[in-house]
Amino acid sequence: MARKKTVKEEKPIVLAEVREQNITETLETNYMPYSMSVIISRAIPEIDGFKPSHRKLLYTMYKMGLMSANTERRKSANVVGETMKLNPHGDAAIYETMVRLTRGNEALLHPFVDSKGSFGKQYSKMAFAASRYTEVKLEQFCQELFSGIDKDAVDFVDNYDSTTKEPKLLPVTFPNILVTPNMGIAVGMASNICSFNLAEICDTACELIRDPDFDITKTLQGPDFSTGGTILYNEAQMDSIYRYGKGSVRIRSKYRFDKSTHTIEVYEIPYTTNAETIIDRLAELVKAGKVKEISDVRDEIDLKGLKIAIDVKKGTDPDKLMAKLFKLTTLEDDFSCNFNVLISGTPMQLGVRDLILEWHAYRTECLKRQLYFELGQKNDLMHLLQGLEKILLDIDRAIAIIRNTENDADVIPNLCDGFNIDEIQAEYVADIKLRNINKEYILKKTRQIEELQKEIEELEGLLMNPRKLNKKIISQLEDIKKKYGKPRKTDILYQEPVLVEDEEEEEEEFTAYCVFTKEGYFKRISLQSIRGNDEQKLKEGDSILFEGELSSKNELIFFTDKAQAYKAKLSQFESVKASALGDFVSAKLGFDNGEKPIFFTFTRTFDARIFISFTNGKCVIIPMDSFATKTNRKKLTAAYCEKQQVASMFTLEKGEEKDVFIRSKLGRALTVNSSLIPLKATRSSQGVQVLSLKSQDEVISATPVDKISPPPLSRYKKTKIPSTGGIFNEIDMDANQTTLD
């Protein structure tokens, strides 16, 4: 029998309703909550020096009782599982957080977790063992993290599912924010905090508490890293870190040379790199023929610590070779500091001084809360003992009242009436054991009243006197320094020696067509390629600032908006076609975060001069030889006066004098000859006032007259400075043109 085929009814297709939404609304409702969550609840550390993931892990271990000296270590997997009650981000993420805090990983100067097993190393890509194999407990140093946490020193909040409580911050007794290195990448901001020596930080904090205007450079030498190395001290950068929390620290590896085996042994490297990265780079350089003195490189990390062995050929000067390797590898590297910290839920970039002062304010509040808690406990005990003291007057009467009371519920009221005490005191008296109702016991208890009275007066005096509170905080810092302070691991080289560098191989001179754009792109194009196609591809909205033929013998100098200059060779840039965007200079030359190029020039003899006009109306001329360096440095700080904003820059040839047309935002203009502006040998010179400006006005451009077509009218020409100039009118430029009429 044939089956009947059923025909399914097709359901009508319902199109989803499309609603127009402004991009600003989308950002506010969808993107902003996510951004704030990442900033506040994940990536940026708070004033106690921890991110939420660190805090949840350490507090879990504290509640597990893993801080006692006699406590056995527990399996890491067990600790990770317990931590998930507070931190629901997965066991792998929690375990990686723990690894960094351990003694075995060597990432911290003062580790928080006492570990057993393989936890990898900060200076190596070595993988850590699984959590089921390793064991952990808290270091005794963690006592300084939890001091007063059970005495209402900090606020507690619900965990993610409101089943338990966790501390909002930890009541750290020292500025942990500057002792424990921290890095976090949020949305629209990042934080990168280097570590400092605990003893130096304690000394600095003590002095700042005594005198907020104290010069912290007297006690704080500079950052201190767990991997050691040597800091090449840069006063300007260090001052920027101390004042504003932004700058970079140059760290150089330490090495020794074994003459018997012709081996260079690198035993300390920068905190920002690892042994494998260095070895891979050395292998690349040897294969490319850029380093010919090396015969072998080995990773000899063992239980004693880091060691990279570099076998060199006979006759090689080790210092000369290392000078070259410092330039070509991360054996010398930068640690970029960006001290973004959450203060009361608000992200702020603070320098070392301000961070210590913020910690002091936070620590004072924690200490006050702890002392108020202790004061409340002592007052409660005092209240009970005062009730017991009244019983001392007639013990037999108290016994009689209790014995002659028929109902249990009436015992407390009868004691209250009989001795004029309150219910709390009566409950305390009624709960005393029968064997303790004797004169000796009661006298012993009531003697505590005098001691308690003294302690209460001391606590009240401490709470009412800020100087005494500061003295207590200073005393705690001095104890921490004495108990946990360690010598510096990272040396500081205040004056960099001139290392003998290997003579660079003479490269054959070549010429290329070069293009530099406003957005910071640089192109090196072969002359053959440019003849075939001269149409330059640019990023949308970009424009060309320079284009022309350059020789490879020229030194390229890029000036940035952070008053720094970066020098480069033409050979550093790959040859591309005109249809390519080119190299992004900021990334190519390793600019600091947020740094942008504002001017490009080139030279071979360093005999030209640079004309700089600032927005405040001042101008200066600096000789190009101020940027020539004997040590072949690639980065120059304080390339011009960093206190002022640059309006325009251009070069003047040796002995050349030009008329310069200067304009302001509010319509003032003048033409002045460059001979009126003095030549300053110091790069950081502020120059001389050329255009006098009103308070809201600023210079927007300074251009050589021979670059302007048609040139400005002669009425703008001034022979004395400073000058207020004249009122600029666009019509003047048109009126200056000649016609055939």
Element (DSSP H or E) covering residue 688: strand 688-689
Q: Is the peptide bond before 722 cis (omega within 30 degrees of 0)?
A: yes
Q: Supply φ then ψ for residue 17, to 5 degrees.
A: -75, 130
The alpha helices in 583-687, defined as continuous H runs, are 585-588
SS3 letters across 233-255: CCHHHHHHHHHHCEEEEEEECEE
In terms of C-beta density within 10 A (0-12 exposed, 13-18 middle, 19 or more buried), how is residue 508 classed?
Answer: exposed
Query: 309-314 long-range CB contacts below 8 Å, 24 or more apart?
Result: 309/263, 309/264, 309/265, 310/263, 310/264, 310/265, 310/266, 310/282, 311/261, 311/262, 311/263, 312/262, 312/263, 312/264, 313/262, 314/262
Nearest alpha-carbon partner for 253 in 311, 178, 306, 180: 306
> Which DSSP category does 42 fall into?
I
Sheet holding 332-338, edge to edge: 182-185, 190-193, 332-338, 246-252, 230-232, 491-493
Runs of H (alpha helix) within 393-430: 395-404, 411-419, 423-430
Q: Which of 128, 57, 67 lies closest to 94, judged by CA?
A: 57
Q: Retrieve residue 693's tokens.
A: 């400006």
Q: 47 to each of 170, 360, 688, how far by Cα in Å?
A: 9, 10, 44
Neighbours of 606 (CB within 10 A): 14
Is residue 436 within 8 Å of 388, Cβ to Cβ?
Answer: no
Alpha-carbon distance values, 494 to 221, 233, 256, 643 (Å): 10, 5, 20, 25
Please state the length of the chain. Answer: 741
What is the spatial distance between Cα 275 and Cα 310, in angstroms, rounded to a whole number? 12
Type of residue numbered 599: F
Backbone angles phi, psi at 621, to 5 degrees: -120, 125
Q: Which member of 34, 59, 62, 133 is catalytic?
A: 133
Query: How far from chain centre, in Å, is Cα 543?
Result: 34
Nearest in space to 452 (alpha carbons), one of 383, 405, 382: 382
Q: Which residues contact 351 (CB under 8 A, 6 or more apart)?
A: 241, 242, 243, 244, 245, 339
User: In this structure, which amino acid lies at residue 195?
Assistant: S
The yes-or-no answer on residue 494 being catalytic is no
Helix axes 352-392, 439-464, angle to 10 degrees: 150
Nearest of 360, 337, 340, 342 to residue 350 by alpha carbon:
340
3-state secondary structure 122-171: CCCCCCCCCCCCCEEEECHHHHHHHCCHHHCCCCEEECCCCCCEEECCCC
Which of 592, 589, 594, 528 shows the shortest CA–CA distance to 556?
Answer: 589
Residue 626 neighbours by CB under 8 Å, 6+ apart: 681, 682, 683
Token pair, residue 253, equals 């590896």
Q: In Å, how far are 310, 413, 453 from 299, measured between CA atoms? A: 9, 82, 66
Characterize the bridge pairing of strands 135-138 and 521-526: unpaired
Contact 122, 227 (CB under 8 A): yes
Residues designated catalytic: 133
